[in-house]
Structure 1
Amino acid sequence: MPPSTDAPADTPCHDVLIVGGGLVGASLAIALDGLGVDVGLVEAAPPGSLPAVFDERNLSFAEATVNALTALGVMQKLHAPTGRIQRIHISRRGDLGRALLDATDHGREAFGQVVVARDFGDALEARLAELPGLLRYRPVRFVGLEAGDTAAWRAVRVADQGGERVLRARLLVAADGTRSQVREALGIGSDLHDYEQTLLVTRLRAERAPDGTAYERLGAHGPTALLPRGDRHFGLVHGVARDEAEAVAGLAEPALLERVQEAFGWRVGRFLSCGRPSQYPAIRLLAERTVAPRAVLVGNAAQSIHPIGAQGFNLGLRDALTLAELIGEARARDPAADCGEAGLLRSHVERRHVDREETVALSDGLAKLSANPAPLLRPLRSLGLFALERVPSVQAALVGGALGYRGHVPALCRAPA
């Protein structure tokens, strides 16, 4: 049973208060619907606007993510066609060998789907609008934690145009991204590694339309990846050295296409056109811990990883779904169960441990190994690509991650899409 309330009568109180209305925060609010939980969502974007994260980036949804978002009624709200990832082609410029993984070899029609972030944002917004019990604070920004926190509540200071106010919650969820102010206010440190790479992201049209193959061409300054979108374009991710990013991003279209063609090769023919790229720094950030008394970090607030392998959002969504699952289990046992109870948060850490550790390790290892230009590593990398394609145990580990199945898998992820 929850502790007795000790909050002032005029202070809004929630079972769960989510700070951050981006990909993971909005998904968590939807996942908590129907569990008998009072939820508040603090969003910086005003009504009618999407957070900046919902831009023209291409999100690669693993099968587990597609399953969960379908069960939550989000995938059905997408307007733009998605692109199915039926094959994954991995190679490295200058090295021998390549790995080709085919979903049909593993009893699947696809490893996942490619979704445009802006369309996904619209779908989440449409789904959030269907939740009458959700209280959305927007545009509102997180200011800090109230000194009057107690064992029963987290007191959170927020601000809008009218000034500051205090909200209280049994459980505070930090879903406010890599530079999480909630994480900082909780006094949780982080380990930061800068890969000194910038990723240029846009869409690209080639002579050959996408055929369901996602290409990951590794290089010294990050990957050059082509993702099969549903609109006959590819989603392009092109890694460059940080000190070259502005110059490369500013290239005229023909010069940019020539540079990317040289990095990627001719597997889909000549590159014909591309949009103006956006820039994203490649960093790895790991929070020293993911929980504090009556608080939990999810998504990029808990860990931001190199986008090689496209696992970031998938990992963060599983953070959110695991938390919702634990709250649902607690409420099934006791409809008045305390969402911020210490045992529930310990269970969250335990359930997320394997998935978090293995996904971060794979992403970091691939990024560092592929970027190392040492000639002695070339045969090792070539051998690794050979193993990915031909050694069942090695391939199974990669395929399981690509599908989104590592460690404890939330039930929503296991549901057939």
Structure 2
Amino acid sequence: MSRDYDITVVGGGLAGASLACALADSGLSIALVEAVPFDAPADANMQARTTALAWGTRALFEQLGLWADMARDAAPIKRLHVSQQGRFGTVRVNAADYGLPALGYVLPNLTMIEALRARLAAMPSVDVIAPARFESLQRDEADGRIEISCTRENGDVETLRTRLLVGADGARSSVRGALGIGARTDDYHQRAVITIVEPERAHGGCAYERFTPDGPVALLPRTRETCAAVWTLPSERAEQLCAASEDEFIDALQDAFGQRLGALELAGPRGSYPLARVLCDRAAVDRAVLIGNAGHALHPAAAQGFNLAIRDALVLAAMLRERLAADPEFDPGTADLLNGWAEARRPDQHRVANFTDAIVRVFSNRIPGLDHARGAGLFGLSLLPAIRDDMARRSMGLALAPARTSSSVREGSA
């Protein structure tokens, strides 16, 4: 069976589903292809995963009418505390200093994906094709479409013809490979260990990021009583601790994080995933673009990767809507729009990718003497409010918060 669409998104995770939701009422016909059943039960790894949303990302979800369904499980980050294990020098950021109720929010990934999928289920212009695995693509030069083949769970093959193909299928993107787009991969030889802990002392809405020689450990507000823990470790050590007893695991985490919140207790399942920086050579080619981890997968340090992915997706949606408003017959796969989107997004992508990589390489190593320089750097940053404020505003995506039109969204690349 063959079906025609204006846009086909391969990958029904957070980035791909957000793009589909943003375009669901645009008048375009959209297919969303996902390899995993939408109603598949979440495994322990997914149950443990949370995401830190910048204030600007929360504002974008609010504009899409999605925030109300997410807010019930959102824990506000009112303050940020950054430190280095065993050294002086800390950086503190308070939402109140920027006239905001929160710097951002921590949400379970399950809450976000459920809200997105509930919205998609109510949108007849979006065909969700799941479970279905992307297999291959070919170009139909006669009518300027891309033809993709997907395999259903029962082995049936479906053919979709589309004017614009969006690859949102993760760091090991099959779409990226089928398009012939290369990618640079920097393996950090680390894994992020994720879990939920209950601290002895109330976190009070404060997010902590503590740098250790093995990698950063972050404790983020999750509920009033609990914190989401994201702990970066060398791969072998991470695997050992995921398999260790609860007592051994919590003792090691306590040693890495310290006593700022008192004694920690394990309050949820443990999971882990490998860490690498993956940067595609090009984000746009003829009738196709890459968003999310398919285009750039980043280290979780500073919690910027997801917010960058959402900016990519929603700026693309805004540019498509702007062109459609001027010309209802506009072809969404036209080269000038896709190249313009890639050019507009490149500075933000490069800045965030280089920033997170620099944090990892400077703070996650045991080079003698460098720990003193790192501590001095943090101390100096705490004394330079202008630089600290600029970094905070960029991390919060404040340039995106007031966006009400497609042009203002596109300009905000913080």
Instruction: With the length of structure 1 as denominator, give the TM-score of the two structures.
Output: 0.92
SS in 2 for 1:146: strand
The CA deviation at 1:70 is 1.6
Residue 263 of structure 1 is matched in structure 2 by 256
Residue 38 of structure 1 is matched in structure 2 by 29
Bigger mean CA deviation after superposition, 290-299 or 203-212: 203-212
Deviations 1:28-70 (A, max 9, x none): 0000022221111111122423687853211101001111112
Describe how 1:8-407 pairs up with structure 2 within 5 A.
Answer: 11-49=2-40, 54-78=46-70, 80-146=72-138, 148=140, 150=142, 152-160=144-152, 161-405=154-398
- Provide the C-alpha distance between the structure 2 equivalents of 1:404 and 1:236, rounded to a whole number of angstroms: 23
SS in 2 for 1:114: strand
The CA deviation at 1:373 is 1.8
- Provide the C-alpha distance between the structure 1 equivalents of 2:76 and 2:401, rounded to a whole number of angstroms: 25
The 3 A distance-change label for structure 1 pair 171 and 50 is farther
- Provide the C-alpha distance between the structure 2 equivalents of 1:409 and 1:186, rounded to a whole number of angstroms: 36
- Provide the C-alpha distance between the structure 1 equivalents of 2:141 and 2:382, rounded to a whole number of angstroms: 54
- Provide the C-alpha distance between the structure 2 equivalents of 1:147 and 1:337, rounded to a whole number of angstroms: 20
- Provide the C-alpha distance between the structure 2 equivalents of 1:412 and 1:87, rounded to a whole number of angstroms: 30
Aligned 8 A contact 1:19 1:25 in 2: yes
Aligned 8 A contact 1:21 1:51 in 2: no
The CA deviation at 1:405 is 4.3
The CA deviation at 1:285 is 0.5
- Provide the C-alpha distance between the structure 1 equivalents of 2:372 and 2:155, rounded to a whole number of angstroms: 63
SS in 1 for 2:369: helix
SS in 1 for 2:40: coil
Number of residue pairs matched by the alignment:
406
CA RMSD of aligned residues (A): 2.2
SS in 1 for 2:76: strand
Aligned 8 A contact 2:168 2:290 in 1: yes
The CA deviation at 1:95 is 2.5
- Provide the C-alpha distance between the structure 2 equivalents of 1:131 and 1:112, rounded to a whole number of angstroms: 28
Residue 6 of structure 1 is matched in structure 2 by none
Aligned 8 A contact 1:114 1:230 in 2: no
- Provide the C-alpha distance between the structure 1 equivalents of 2:55 and 2:328, rounded to a whole number of angstroms: 32
Among all aligned residue pairs of Structure 1 and Structure 2, give the percentage whose two residues are the same amino acid. Answer: 36
Aligned 8 A contact 2:167 2:175 in 1: yes
The CA deviation at 1:342 is 0.3
Bigger mean CA deviation after superposition, 193-202 or 50-59: 50-59
The CA deviation at 1:411 is 4.8
Aligned 8 A contact 2:195 2:230 in 1: yes
The 3 A distance-change label for structure 1 pair 136 and 30 is same
- Provide the C-alpha distance between the structure 2 equivalents of 1:197 and 1:19, rounded to a whole number of angstroms: 28
Bigger mean CA deviation after superposition, 36-45 or 372-381: 372-381
Amino acid of the structure 2 residue aligned with 1:20? G
> Gapped runs of 5+ residues in structure 1?
1-9
Aligned 8 A contact 1:142 1:181 in 2: yes
The 3 A distance-change label for structure 1 pair 401 and 150 is farther
Residue 412 of structure 2 is matched in structure 1 by none
- Provide the C-alpha distance between the structure 1 equivalents of 2:283 and 2:47, rounded to a whole number of angstroms: 27
Aligned 8 A contact 1:299 1:317 in 2: yes
- Provide the C-alpha distance between the structure 1 equivalents of 2:130 and 2:144, rounded to a whole number of angstroms: 26
> Gapped runs of 5+ residues in structure 2?
410-414
Instruction: With the length of structure 2 as denominator, give the TM-score of the two structures.
Output: 0.93
The 3 A distance-change label for structure 1 pair 246 and 47 is closer
Deviations 1:62-118 (A, max 9, x none): 001111112212221237532101111111113321111111112222111000111
- Provide the C-alpha distance between the structure 1 equivalents of 2:199 and 2:323, rounded to a whole number of angstroms: 51
Aligned 8 A contact 2:56 2:399 in 1: no
SS in 1 for 2:374: helix
